[in-house]
């Protein structure tokens, strides 16, 4: 009898000590802006509350984290919000004072688990629980970021003008000007001799009434850049870059034309495919450096629109280019599947961040490859990694639901 009593008490003790680690418990999924939170310790349910690994969730929300082993406290800071919790303590602290928790933080498998809803809502998030799928979905709060909209010729159905200004050209209204901070005006190309073109074989051309677009952008206080787009088809770019006279012609032409704009955006595509890219990288960096040095004294900015570092095009030295430009748009798309694979986009951002500061990086999004749901993820990636913003290709292809997604995730300019 004593033997059975001892076994019973042992089982009861273990149940009390580890009540939430049942081996047959259904796994709990945690998602921030549609992206899964990855951790080596699984979330659990404790006294009806979902407990999650502190560091994994905090970093997914771009919060700074700190662990004090002496006091057994964890702290998360995000902007003006600071939250402190202590292992085993039902009292938590935020910027306003003490808060009583239903369940205290605990340590399992050397990881600190905290009550998810309390923590996320303290950081301004919206939290929902799906009991059928055992999933927690977190929507992070709006964040101030730049949205760059590529403006290119379309048709009556895909008009960039109507997309941003809300009415058919040349009528004008506020439209979506509250959310777009920059216009990338896709109106120029260049030939192998360095001559700036307003019409090109790739379809990039400046509209006849281009001045009205500039006037409208100024009326709504939107920054606008001239985009020079060219592909390596026929070795156009390398021919131009290897000819010093052509480079001089290009820099001089862009410098003259840039007087009409706030800045310049270079979109030189296709460098370094399938061969030793070192020479392409070096020549492109020299070209960008010369243009940047010429634009700076005139108060003009330089943006580079580049293939992602995990693309097939290796002709771009992100580290050196980041030092001679004001911002870089990462074209994290055209990987094949649609929507674009989340992990490929994340990898592109992480690779770029190793070479360029986050405040200079903008995540490029190709809307034809995405859905409103995947656009939420792209904005979430930009938030998580503290990027400057997103760039959308292109105005005229933005659905009403996609405009809504951008407004839900990004603070309007005004």
| Helix or strand run (H / E) with residue 73 | strand 73-78
Inter-residue contact 105 to 74 (CB < 8 Å):
yes
Using a 10 angstrom Cβ sphere, with 0-12 exposed, 13-18 middle and 19 or more buried, the burial of residue 6 is exposed
Let me know if residue 5 belongs to a domain: no
18 CB-near residues (< 8 Å, 6+ apart): none
Q: How many domains does the chain have?
A: 2
Q: Do 201 and 302 fall into the same domain?
A: yes
Domain match, 135 and 154 both: no
Is position 2 within any domain?
A: no
Residue 156: what pLDDT? 87
The Cα–Cα gap between 220 and 212 comes to 12
Among 332, 327, 326, 373, CA closest to 349: 332
Calculate the CA dihedral of residues 298, 299, 300, 302 and round it to 10 degrees.
110
Answer for the pair 410, 178: CB distance below 8 angstroms, yes or no: no
Q: What is the pLDDT of residue 414?
A: 67
Residues 6+ apart with CB under 8 A from 69: none
CA distance 364 to 380: 13
Q: Is 33 left (phi over 0), alpha (psi -120 to 50) or beta?
A: left
Domain boundary among 139, 162, 189: 139
Residue 10 belongs to some domain of the structure = no
As a whole number of angstroms, the distance between CA 288 and CA 250 comes to 11
- Residues 6 or more apart whose Cβ sits within 8 Å of residue 21: 44, 108
Give dist(CA 5, CA 3) in Å, integer. Answer: 5
Shared domain check, 168 and 133: no
Q: Phi/psi at 120 (nearest 5 deg)?
A: -65, -40
Please check whether residues 151 and 291 belong to one and the same domain: yes
Based on the fold, state whether residues 84 and 221 are members of the same structural domain: no
298 with 258: CB under 8 angstroms?
A: yes
Helix (H, G, I), strand (E, B) or coil at 305: strand
What CA–CA distance (Å, rounded) separates 142 from 145? Answer: 9
Q: Give Cα separations from 398 to 316, 370, 393, 402 (angstroms).
A: 29, 10, 9, 6
Q: Residue 147: beta bridge partners?
A: 390
- Is residue 117 a part of any domain in this protein? yes
Q: State the residue for tokens 């502190």.
A: 54
The residue among 121, 139, 157 that closes a domain is 139
Residues 109 and 189 in one domain: no
Q: Tell me how far CA of residue 135 lies from CA of 19, 58, 109, in angstroms.
A: 20, 18, 22
Q: Report the DSSP beta bridge partners of residue 53.
A: 113
The two structure tokens encoding residue 298: 């005139």
Are 175 and 130 within one domain? no
Start-to-end Cα distance in the chain: 76
267 part of a folded domain: yes
Q: Report the 10 Å Cβ neighbour count for 11.
A: 10
Question: Is residue 405 situated within a structural domain?
Answer: yes
Measured CA to CA in angstroms, residue 358 lies from 167, 305, 332 at distances of 35, 15, 15
173 and 73 within one domain: no
Last residue of a domain, one of 139, 160, 193: 139
Q: What is the CATH number of the domain that holds 280?
A: 3.20.20.80
Q: Which residue shows structure tokens 């050397």?
A: 110
Same domain, yes or no: 242 and 365: yes
Sign of CA dihedral 408, 411, 412, 414: positive
The secondary structure of 368-408 as a DSSP string is GG--HHHHHHHHHHHHHTT-SEEEEE-TTS--HHHHHHHHH
- 213 and 327 together in one domain: yes
Instruction: Answer yes or no: do 337 and 311 share one domain.
Output: yes
Q: Same domain, yes or no, for 131 and 152? A: no
| 80 in any annotated domain | yes
Give the C-alpha separation, 38 to 19, whole Å.
23
What does each of the 414 residues of the chain score in pLDDT, given as a tens digit? 444 444 333 434 333 444 444 334 789 999 999 999 999 999 999 999 999 999 999 999 999 999 999 999 999 999 889 999 999 999 999 988 999 999 999 999 899 999 999 999 999 999 999 999 999 999 999 999 999 999 998 888 999 999 999 999 999 999 999 999 999 999 999 999 999 999 987 778 999 999 999 999 999 999 999 999 999 999 999 999 999 999 999 999 999 999 999 999 999 999 999 878 999 999 999 999 999 999 999 999 999 999 999 999 999 999 999 999 999 999 999 999 999 999 999 999 999 999 999 999 999 999 999 999 999 999 999 999 999 999 999 999 999 999 999 999 999 986
Is the pTM higher than 0.85? The answer reads yes
In a domain, 118, yes or no: yes
**Domain containing 306: what range?**
146-409
Strand extents, DSSP E, 79-155: 81-86, 91-94, 97-100, 106-108, 111-115, 126-130, 135-139, 146-151
The CATH number linked to 101 is: 3.30.457.10
């Amino acid at each position: 009898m004593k033997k059975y009593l001892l076994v019973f008490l042992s089982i009861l003790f273990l149940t009390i000590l580890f009540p939430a680690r049942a081996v047959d418990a259904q796994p709990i999924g945690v998602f921030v802006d549609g992206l899964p939170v990855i951790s080596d310790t699984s979330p659990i349910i404790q006294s009806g509350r979902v407990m999650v690994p502190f560091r994994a969730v905090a970093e997914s929300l771009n919060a700074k984290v700190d662990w004090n082993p002496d006091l057994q406290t964890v702290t998360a800071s995000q902007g003006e919000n600071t939250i402190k919790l202590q292992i085993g303590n039902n009292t938590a602290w935020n910027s306003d004072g003490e808060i009583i928790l239903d369940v205290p933080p605990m340590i399992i498998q050397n990881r600190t688990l905290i009550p998810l809803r309390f923590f996320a809502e303290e950081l301004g998030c919206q939290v929902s629980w799906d009991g059928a799928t055992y999933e927690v979905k977190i929507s992070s709060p709006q964040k101030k970021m730049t949205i760059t909209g590529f403006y290119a010729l379309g048709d009556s159905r895909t008009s960039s003008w109507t997309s941003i200004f809300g009415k058919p050209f040349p009528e004008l209204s506020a439209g979506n000007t509250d959310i777009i901070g920059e216009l990338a005006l896709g109106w120029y190309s260049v030939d192998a001799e360095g001559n700036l073109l307003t019409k090109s074989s790739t379809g990039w051309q400046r509209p006849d009434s281009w001045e009205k677009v500039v006037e409208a952008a100024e009326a709504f206080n939107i920054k606008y850049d001239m985009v020079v787009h060219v592909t390596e088809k026929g070795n156009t770019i390398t021919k131009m870059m290897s000819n010093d006279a052509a480079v001089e012609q290009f820099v001089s032409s862009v410098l003259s034309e840039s007087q009409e704009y706030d800045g310049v955006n270079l979109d030189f595509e296709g460098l370094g495919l399938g061969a030793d890219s070192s020479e392409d990288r070096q020549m492109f960096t020299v070209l960008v450096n010369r243009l940047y040095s010429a634009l700076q004294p005139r108060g003009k900015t330089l943006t580079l629109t580049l293939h992602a570092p995990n693309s097939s095009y290796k002709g771009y030295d992100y580290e050196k280019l980041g030092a001679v430009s004001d911002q870089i748009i990462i074209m994290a798309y055209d990987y094949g599947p649609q929507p674009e694979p989340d992990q490929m986009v994340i990898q592109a951002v992480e690779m770029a961040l190793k070479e360029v500061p986050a405040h200079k990086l903008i995540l490029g999004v190709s809307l034809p490859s995405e859905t409103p749901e995947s656009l939420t993820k792209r904005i979430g990636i930009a938030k998580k990694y503290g990027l400057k913003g997103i760039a959308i290709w292109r105005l005229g292809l933005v659905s009403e639901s996609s405009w809504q997604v951008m407004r839900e995730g990004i603070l309007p300019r005004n």
